A = this chain, B = another copy of it.
Amino acid sequence: MDDPVDARLAAEVSRDPRATLAQLSERVGLSASAVQARLRKLESTGVITGYQAILDPEAVGKPLAAFIEITPLDPRQPDDAPALLEPIAAIEACHSVAGDAAYMLFVRVGSPRELEALVSEIRHTASVNTRTTVVLQTFYEHRPMLPLPDAGE
């Protein structure tokens, strides 16, 4: 994905995935058909991997978020923590990281009580120690990955 028009298109669609082809065609300066073809290509080549509606965590009953770093109890054991934890729906993201811990999770729950239960579940499901950092306030998240090529005109 090096074409500047593709980059622009990806930036536009990542901000507003429900825009019509006509709207996108205005913004990138191509015909709707051309935009459509490029979009399909971006999807099929895996540049666009999916679409998502962003929900207000409080409104859907998940006001509490936290980062949980996890470290295997026994470094000798085979380590498939990500796979073991994958069924737990409260886990929104799972990365392996460089640093003190082996993995970093991002989780959302409804209450401190639920967080306690979740941490406990993670510990005994994956045989790990945990270090939890509670989110007090989210200033912003889900910001677009690509900058909009500055809007001249």
A residues with CB within 8 A of B: 1, 7, 10, 13-18, 45-57, 59-62, 65, 67, 82, 86, 89, 91-99, 101, 104, 106, 108, 133-147
Contacts and interface: CB of A to CB of B under 8 A. Distances in A.
A16 B51 CA distance: 6
Given A67-B104, A142-B92, A14 B97 contact: no
A67 B89 CA distance: 22
A55 B140 contact: no
Given A92-B143, A95-B136, A98-B136, 13 more contacts: A10-B53, A14-B55, A45-B59, A47-B55, A48-B53, A49-B55, A50-B53, A52-B142, A55-B146, A67-B104, A92-B142, A93-B141, A97-B136
A1 B60 contact: yes
A138 B61 CA distance: 26
